[in-house]
Amino acid sequence: MSGSAARRVVVTGMGVVCPLGLSLEDLWAGLVEGRSGVVPIESFAAGGIPLHHAAEARGFTGEIADFGPLDGEKKKAIRKGCKVMCRESQMAVAAAQRALHDSGDATAHHAPERFGCVFGSDYMLTLPDDFTAGVARCRTADGRFDFSRWATDGMPQLSPLWLLKYLPNMPASHIAIYNDLRGPSNSLTLREASGHVAVGEAVVTIQRGAADIMVAGATGTRVHPMKTVHALQSEQVATGDGDPTTWSRPFDRGRHGMVLGEGAAVLVLEELSHAEARGARIYGEVVGHAARSAADRTGVGRRRQAIAHAMRRAIEMAALPAGGLGHVHAHGASTVTGDREEAEAVHDVLGPTAAAIPTVAAKSHFGNLGGGSGLVECIGSLLALGHGSLFPLLNHETPDPACNLRAAVRGEPAGAAFISTAVTPQGQSGSLVFQAWRRSA
């Protein structure tokens, strides 16, 4: 493990943009109070699709105030840069700036080449409006689209910087430029597993001595005219009658699909002695991480196998004593097959303990945020460690015997450590184990 024992990695800053709000206080209050972030869709016209509710991050408007406390020059730079950012990138930058501020301004205590950034994202899609003017120029007299005119008449109508808005490496690039981070940098696109894998890479980067501080985050949205349609075509999405705030119900027997949402989250990760030297507040320690993938010959993900392999390795790395996990933060997408396969994986790894350990799933409050989901969920559990108590598994009313997991109830002990897991339909999975920080003897 080459250096990992000597270089412990702790969390010294956290930032979120999610359907429950833009602050850690908003997130925690929403989780504990059992609030849902599911609302009628307002960000685009949804009249032509069979889904009219989603978990929009309505608190995030893209205005400069949403990016947290900033000095004058940084405020000016970010306001200008927003013009070449899609919503996912804007949310990513906002979460990062909030996390850096929460860390006690870690950027003031670093050599730039020792501070890096690893950022994950979902796949990023353009908005139809970006092509409207170009398509209009290529219409024939009878209204048909003439593709042969696209190169000469259509493409010139696109903004020259259009592509920069949607490149998945732009969140890390923007964050590094605004904060003068010259250390190791990387961008990952593993859908819902992106955040977990980004944290794992950041931890390894610090442990091998290539950096002392890393920004690790992820961003994503499913509330988007193209992504929403894609999800409706390819995944089980909750629609229909009834109260939409009850649609996301992980591991409940009545679940009938995921809710779509949007958000971003960032952790500031720091080598322990570096954090202690500057008097940083410590939320917890990353003691285990793993990424695994499993799929059949046709490319369909084997989620049970992928989750089990990632969980088993992360727990092994954490070297926790028997019964050391205080709770499990499940992926919990609220799909019929996905939840069952995840529950089976948890039983594969934890054995009889799986039915007794409290399980939470923040997606019950705000659905699937795409690439942003996993780390928003980790922050929720880190806050639970700090408060010493758990938030409830929302909308879990009728246990599903096929899942056999114990839903957490409000106020029960969070324990001293937890495991969080994420998985994609393609069978990519990441797991993280966090432990309440204890000072070395």
Three-class HEC string of 99-130: HHHHCCCHHHHCCHHHEEEEEEECCCCCCCHH
Report whether pLDDT(244) > 70.
yes
pLDDT attached to residue 109? 67
Mean pLDDT of the chain: 93
If asked whether residues 395 and 406 sit together in one domain, one would say yes
Do 230 and 216 share a structural domain? yes
pLDDT > 60? residue 4? no
Query: In this model, does residue 333 exceed pLDDT 90?
Result: yes
Please check the confidence at residue 368 and state whether its pLDDT lies above 60. yes
Which parts of 245-283 are beta strand (E)?
262-271
* Model confidence at 68: pLDDT above 80: yes
Picking from 271, 387, 268, 369, the residue whose alpha carbon sits closest to that of residue 327 is 387
Between 266 and 113, name the one with better pLDDT. Answer: 266
Q: Residue 181 has which token pair?
A: 């981070």
* Better pLDDT: 307 or 241: 307
Looking at the domain assignment, is residue 2 inside a domain? no
pLDDT-based confidence at residue 326 (cuts at 50, 70, 90): very high
Same domain, 156 and 170: no
pTM of the model: 0.94
Burial code of 283-306, b = ≥16 C-beta within 10 A, e = fewer?
bbbbbbbbbbbbbeeeeebbbbbb
What is d(CA 424, CA 222) in angstroms, rounded to the nearest whole number?
Answer: 14
Residue 108 lies inside a defined structural domain of this protein: yes
pLDDT above 50: residue 337: yes
DSSP per-residue string spanning 283-332? -EEEEEEEEEE-B-TTS-B-HHHHHHHHHHHHHHHHTPPTT---EEE---
- Is residue 119 predicted with pLDDT exceeding 90? yes
> What per-residue confidence (pLDDT) applies to 439?
63
Q: Does a structural domain hold residue 26?
A: yes
Is 68:98 a contact under the CB 8 Å cutoff? yes
Angle at the Cα of 407 from the Cα atoms of 404 and 413, rounded to 5 degrees: 130
Task: Give the model's confidence band at 3: pLDDT under 50 very low, under 70 low, under 90 confident, else very high.
Answer: very low
Q: What are 389-432's pLDDT values in tens digits?
A: 999 999 999 999 999 999 999 999 999 999 999 999 999 999 99
Which residues have C-beta within 8 Å of that of residue 337, sequence separation ≥ 6? 236
Residues 27 and 172 in one domain: yes
Q: Are 109 and 192 contained in the same domain?
A: yes
Of 182-191, 337-346, 430-439, minimum mean pLDDT range:
430-439
Residue 438: predicted pLDDT: 72
Do the domain assignments include residue 51? yes
- What is the residue range of 266's domain? 10-125+166-435
CA–CA distance, 278 with 106 (Å, rounded to integer): 9
User: What's the distance, Cα to Cα, between the start and end of the chain in Å?
Assistant: 22
- Note whether 91 and 155 are same-domain residues: no
Same domain, 362 and 392: yes
Instruction: Output the domain CATH number for residue 47.
Output: 3.40.47.10
Mean pLDDT, residues 63-85: 93
The answer, yes or no, to whether residue 5 has pLDDT greater than 60, is: no
Give the model's pLDDT for residue 36.
95
Q: Which residue is associated with the tokens 């204890």? A: 438
Give the C-alpha separation, 275 to 175, whole Å. 21
Number of domains in the chain: 2
Percentage of the residues of the chain whose pLDDT score is greater than 70: 98
Kindly indicate the confidence band of residue 63, based on its pLDDT and cuts at 50, 70 and 90. Answer: very high
pLDDT digits (tens, 9 = 90+) for 159-218: 888 888 899 999 999 999 999 999 999 999 999 999 999 999 999 999 999 999 999 999
